[in-house]
Amino acid sequence: GRHLVVEDLDGDAELLEGQRHLGADVGLGLDGRHEEVASRYAHFEFYGNKKSDTLIIAYGITSRVIAPLKTDFAIFRPIRIFPFLSDELRKRAKGFEHVVVVEANDGQYAMLVESELKREVIRIPLLGGRISLDDAKRDMSKKLGREVK
């Protein structure tokens, strides 16, 4: 498989920033043709309470689990996650005090979002095979410092 980690000649591993240069530098096959095709399929949803101070980013099953939060939060749901939806996310994330990434792994997507937005995000990992709205709300409440209903 293809990895986001590159090892240099000294054996030191480093995580590359951003997927656009990743494709070019590491040879993931993201040449101009792939970028052009990907740009035609920049699929995502942006919905919910866009006047909220918090944007939730979630994809796949986690986006369906957190969908009931749309009355209190704005939601960005990338449908295509690679290549990263850089322009689309930056445009929609402007003006939000908090950006929360809810994902069913340990922060890999959140790390890419931080790299792209050049700011810290609140990470809500739903691990252990259990993906529940109650768990997401509990963790968001702790990290936002207010009750998420």
Sign for the CA dihedral angle at 77, 80, 85, 88 comes to: negative
pTM of the model: 0.77
Is residue 11 scored above 80 in pLDDT? Answer: no
pLDDT at 149 over 50: yes
Most confident of 21-25, 33-37, 60-64: 60-64
pLDDT digits (tens, 9 = 90+) for 74-90: 999 999 888 889 999 99
Q: What is the pLDDT of residue 42?
A: 74
